[in-house]
Amino acid sequence: MTNGTVLVTGGSRGIGAAIATRLAQDGYGVVVNYATDAEGATAVVREISQAGGRAAAVRADVADAGQVAAMFEKAGAFGEPLVALVNNAASVGQEAPMQDQQADALNRVVQTNVVGPALCAKHAIRAMSRKRGGVGGSIVNVASVAGQTGGLPNLVPYSATKGAVIAMTKGLAGEVAADGIRVNSVSPGVIDTEMSNRPAARQLAESSPMGRMGHPAEVAAAVSFLVSDAASFVTGTDLPVSGGR
């Protein structure tokens, strides 16, 4: 299987780990990015390798321009062209009413959730652009239905950044279509991860049309489709994976 290399940010656990595992099953070499959870990233790489796939873990804080640049230099570990970037790394930020939000916490959530995906997209475009000698490819941004609905109480900055990710997806899709690059996003609803371990999240999931939380693998399946050639005429689209919410 030599389908090229994909880079998944925040791939050490939760939705990111499910995406990395699914794309490895699809035949891609997967670069599993992490910022602090080396043990989790190593476990994901081990699982992929034991199943016969190709994976490598690379540490980088996506909010740091220098670390992002170094990460993309290391992404050629498999000797295959980069064909996809999945911008999954995110911070939920400070859980507090807006009037109690600290400036440093606000800055951090914006840097991680908005600037980070933009920095990664910058390098992915340079690597994949057909105008620059690349083979084209796909960028999939993991947004959230919170970016459209406002999300849970006390997490307004997080919701705002996810709205920005959806807007960036639509704008960037038009900008790089001629480079042979498609840009889409998925917007998960309440997914069964650590981030959803809140009473308000469980109540929101139970009130959705499907009456349950989603599973990380269900988000990964949507990402798999958007990365694949099956979505060759799909760009600038946000795909909700939210149980009907």
DSSP string for residues in 87-133: E--------S-GGG--HHHHHHHHIIIIIHHHHHHHHHHHHH-GGGT
- Residue range 69-80: mean pLDDT, rounded: 92
What CATH topology corresponds to 5-241? Rossmann fold (3.40.50)
Q: 142: which strand partners? A: 186
The pLDDT, as a whole number, for residue 209 is 83
Residue ranges covered by each domain of the chain: 5-241
- Residue range 43-56: mean pLDDT, rounded: 97
The residue type of 73 is E
**CA nearest 45: which of 28, 74, 59, 24?**
24
Q: What percentage of the chain reaches a pLDDT higher than 90?
A: 83
Q: Give the residue numbers marked as catalytic.
A: 158
pTM: 0.94
Length of the chain: 245
